[in-house]
Amino acid sequence: MLRVGVMVSGGGTNLQAILDALDAGRITNASVEVVISNNPGAYALERAKGHGIPAECLSPKDFESREAFNEAFLAKVDSYKLDLIVLAGFLVKIPEAMVERYEHRIINVHPSLIPSFCGVGYYGLRVHEAALARGVKVTGATVHYVDGGMDTGPIILQKAVEVLDGDTPELLQRRVMEEAEWVILPKAIDMIANGGQSR
């Protein structure tokens, strides 16, 4: 059984997609052991509690230094003995020590077809604003392993989404979530849990 921890900063729609996939049997051999957020007001924490999953909040703002936060964060993650860490809209830089300790065991979902519109500064609506400004006809989402760079780790899955006339960043963001992120993130977890993705 793959012990999964999900890290999220906001509403937790990707977390909900994971929980729904677990409930529906589209993810097997895995269980979400903890949801961790840096935001005490994140609705994702309520989603976790509603599913009987421990919900933890650790914010860099609550520590005297980033180093102190990083140590506490890593200790909290270690305490759950996780096999896989899923970054599902987590807007905190993962400590280098954690990337090293959990090498090839941290995955992230990004709302573009990497290598397009990724890297420093590309998150949330900014990704979709950039895609529309560039005039691309196809965008999508990517699930990838996390390494020491920003959106640079090996790609696990991608799914394309058409850009439509009249799209706003908000409309495009919603379509990318519904048609790509909520599909490939649970699929990637299931693949990893069942040995379908080489580690």
Nearest to 146 by CA among 197, 69, 86: 86
Q: What residue type is 123 in one-letter code?
A: Y
Which of 51, 104, 110, 128 is the catalytic position? 110
Cis ω for the linkage preceding 115 (within 30 of 0): yes
Relative to beta strand 2-7, strand 30-37 is: parallel
Q: What string of DSSP letters covers 154-199?
A: PEEEEEEEE--TT--HHHHHHHHIIIIIHHHHHHHHHHHHTT-S--
Tokens 């991608």 belong to residue: 158
Consecutive H or E run containing 16: helix 13-24
Whole-angstrom Cα Rg for the chain: 16
Whether residue 109 contacts residue 10, with contact meaning beta carbons closer than 8 Å, is answered with: no
Token duo for residue 124: 């949330």
Nearest to 154 by CA among 88, 198, 98: 198
Give catalytic status of residue 110 as yes or no: yes
Active-site residue set: 110
